[in-house]
Amino acid sequence: MLQDALLAWIHYLAIFLLIVAMTAQTVLLRPTLTTPTLRRLAIYDRVYAASAIAVLITGVLRLIFGAKGAAFYMANPWFHAKFGVFILIALCSIPPTIAFIKWNKQAKLDSTYLPAPLQIKRARRWVMVEVHLLVLLPLFAALMARGIGM
């Protein structure tokens, strides 16, 4: 029981860190982007990636070693919906990550470089799609935990 509680705690901490990193990206992706902000954006993107990996790993650990057992989750349609949305969010994070990497490479070559407003808008749109999809995860988690639909 303690193991299950600790796995849940670590899983939730990773989720909170992911939300903080995603929020920071959303705040920084403005037309008023500066060169120092570009560097911070890249750092937050790495934190976001690391926290997403931590969410995935702790989720798998909960699946395998959690109190409900893998059979509960594998038979639960909301588990599959939740995992599918998580993967969709991960896929939506690829375009902004590529943009941030390109922008930072360019900024290293030219200290006055800033991405065009359209590029910033495009990256922000992808991050906002992620944010809006993320809202579904707690709903699916609540439905999953209560065994609704099984």
What are the extents of the domains in the chain? 2-145
Distance between CA atoms of 82 and 59, rounded to whole angstroms?
11
pLDDT of residue 110: 93
Report which secondary-structure segment, H or E, holds 50: helix 35-65
Q: What is the model's pTM? A: 0.91
pLDDT in tens, the chain (150 residues): 899 999 999 999 999 999 999 999 999 999 999 989 999 999 999 999 999 999 999 999 999 999 899 999 999 999 999 999 999 999 999 999 999 999 999 999 998 999 999 999 999 999 999 999 999 999 999 999 998 887
Give the tokens for residue 96: 């902004």
